[in-house]
Amino acid sequence: MKKMFRATNVVLMLLCLMYFITYLDRVNVSTAAAGFSKDFGLNKTEIGFVFSAFAYPYLVFQIIGGWVSDRFGAKRTLIACGLIWAGATVLTGMAGGLISMLVARVLLGLGEGATFPAATAAMSRWVAKEKRGFAQGITHAAARIGNAVAPGAVVFIMATYGWRESFFACAALSFLWVGLWWMTFTEKPIDHPRITAEETAFLPVPNENKPKVPWGPLFKRMWPVTIVYFCYGWTLWLFLSWIPQYFLHSYDLDLKKSAIFASSVFFAGVIGDTLGGIVTDRVLVKTGSLHKARSIMVAICMGLTLLALIPMMFTHQLYVSLACLSAGFFFAEMSIGPMWAIPMDIAPEFSGTASGMMNTGSALAAIISPVIGGLLIDKTGNWELPFVGSMILMAVGVVLSFRMQPESKFGLGTSTDGRPPIVPATPLRQM
């Protein structure tokens, strides 16, 4: 029991709680749309814009937020972010129409834009290198629990009180987390009053000198990772935005039954995230190869996601769709652990900035995917058609995953042309 509540585990649990809350706050709108769309008289395309409005500032603040967390620390960054996203959730519940709903969602994206890069910066100091995949997998699994809990929780609150109250409840939870983070986290593990010598022995040694970010070379190094993450993000945001509505309208289920089916799909992602983090770390320990643990694993998971969705294109049957979507989301989420470990593998000194660059891919997909999905549904009435785009982009991701090269570490030295070189990654046993 004492080991469970060690400082390193408490920090990881707080990050898991943050991931849970941020995804609860960003996907609750998908289920609540059944309420506010009637009140505001919105069509599917307009609902798609509400879903995607969050992603515009989310995209912009990925890299900025990553740099801020590298420069000023994860504690201050996440406190500021938490206050903004919690306030935005309150404003969502107070919205009086399409415009005010869009403004609140934009503010939510502003608050959550730096959260994952800042969390990655914290993990780079608080998590042992051989456990990075697990840490990223378990935190994202907590996010998927937020996805899974949101439909049922929002439906319960909507049925009891109303759709506005579902946002107020989420906001209260967000404010609570900010207080816990402020009281618990320290930027350096060594400064934590409950840290043990046994824990610090396995943690990375921090670089006290904060080097300037070599923006151009680092972006060039990260662009293949960013594109692969865009391919993943397209499927993620299509699922998060439209799965609750898919079961509600494509199969004419009532609100409660559609919430159960949507939650089943999202719970498959919880298992995928957790398992993906465990598998990538075990492959790394067993083989010592970042190429196998990260790139090859991502390629396999994306390929299986594509295959899982194919039967939906040939039959319209409720339980076939449930199985395909659950399997597809499971395999897509298995790629999360290795993907989010890659920025720490490639550029540990700039892990916040590098992960922010990577996550711009998903943020861009979050802007486009929900709107395109809504347009296709409005124009054709076919709820399966948007998933064709997911299959195409997963195939692209399989090909480009071999260009990520996590085994080649971004160096801090200077090459003959004045750019930081790429140097081979340090073997695991020497990390």
Q: Considering only 18-32, 135-149, 196-210, which range has the smallest mean pLDDT? A: 196-210
- Tens digit of each residue's pLDDT (9 = 90 or more) over 45-54: 888 788 888 8
Q: Which among 103, 101, 123 is positioned nearest to 36, based on CA atoms?
A: 101
Cβ–Cβ under 8 Å, residues 12 and 127:
yes
Rg of the chain (C-alpha set):
21
Query: 14 versus 2: which is more confidently predicted?
Result: 14
Average pLDDT, whole number, for the chain? Answer: 85
Which residue reads 């982009």 in tokens?
393
Count of CB atoms within 10 A of residue 155's CB?
Answer: 26
Q: Which among 222, 230, 123, 125 is positioned nearest to 422, based on CA atoms?
A: 222
- Tens digit of each residue's pLDDT (9 = 90 or more) over 232-286: 999 998 888 788 778 887 887 877 788 788 888 988 988 999 999 999 999 998 9
Q: For residue 182, give Cα distances in angstroms to 135, 177, 179.
A: 21, 9, 5
pLDDT at 1: 58
Residue 425 pLDDT > 50: no
- Tens digit of each residue's pLDDT (9 = 90 or more) over 58-92: 888 888 888 888 888 899 999 999 999 999 999 99
Q: Which among 37, 80, 348 is positioned nearest to 211, based on CA atoms?
A: 348
Q: What is the mean pLDDT of residues 394-423?
A: 71
The structural domains of the chain, with segments of one domain joined by +, span: 7-190+212-430
Question: What percent of the chain has a predicted confidence (pLDDT) above 70?
Answer: 93
Backbone angles phi, psi at 323, to 5 degrees: -65, -45
pLDDT at 153: 82
Cβ neighbours of residue 83 under 8 Å, at least 6 residues apart? 111, 175, 178
What is the value of pTM for the model shown?
Answer: 0.76
- Tens digit of each residue's pLDDT (9 = 90 or more) over 149-184: 877 788 888 888 888 998 999 999 999 999 999 999
User: What is the greatest pairwise CA distance in the chain?
Assistant: 67
Residue 371 pLDDT > 90: no
Q: Which among 368, 344, 393 is positioned nearest to 55, based on CA atoms?
A: 368
- Structure-block tokens of residue 34: 């059944």
Cβ neighbours of residue 254 under 8 Å, at least 6 residues apart? 248
Q: For residue 165, give Cα distances in angstroms to 33, 84, 97, 363.
A: 13, 19, 16, 27
Residue 38 pLDDT > 80: yes
- Identify the H or E element spanning 424: strand 422-424
> Does the domain spanning 7-190+212-430 belong to CATH 1.10.150.50?
no
- Tens digit of each residue's pLDDT (9 = 90 or more) over 292-351: 999 999 999 999 999 999 998 888 889 999 999 999 999 999 999 999 999 988 988 888
Backbone angles phi, psi at 271, to 5 degrees: -65, -40
Residue 30 pLDDT > 80: no
pLDDT at 2: 63
Cα–Cα distance, 286 to 371 (Å, whole number):
43
- Tens digit of each residue's pLDDT (9 = 90 or more) over 373-386: 888 888 888 888 88
Backbone angles phi, psi at 206, to 5 degrees: -70, 150
- Tens digit of each residue's pLDDT (9 = 90 or more) over 92-146: 999 988 899 999 999 998 898 888 888 988 888 888 877 888 888 898 888 888 8
List beta partners, residue 408.
424
Backbone angles phi, psi at 407, to 5 degrees: -75, -15
pLDDT at 201: 80
Confidence bin at 430 (pLDDT 50/70/90): very low
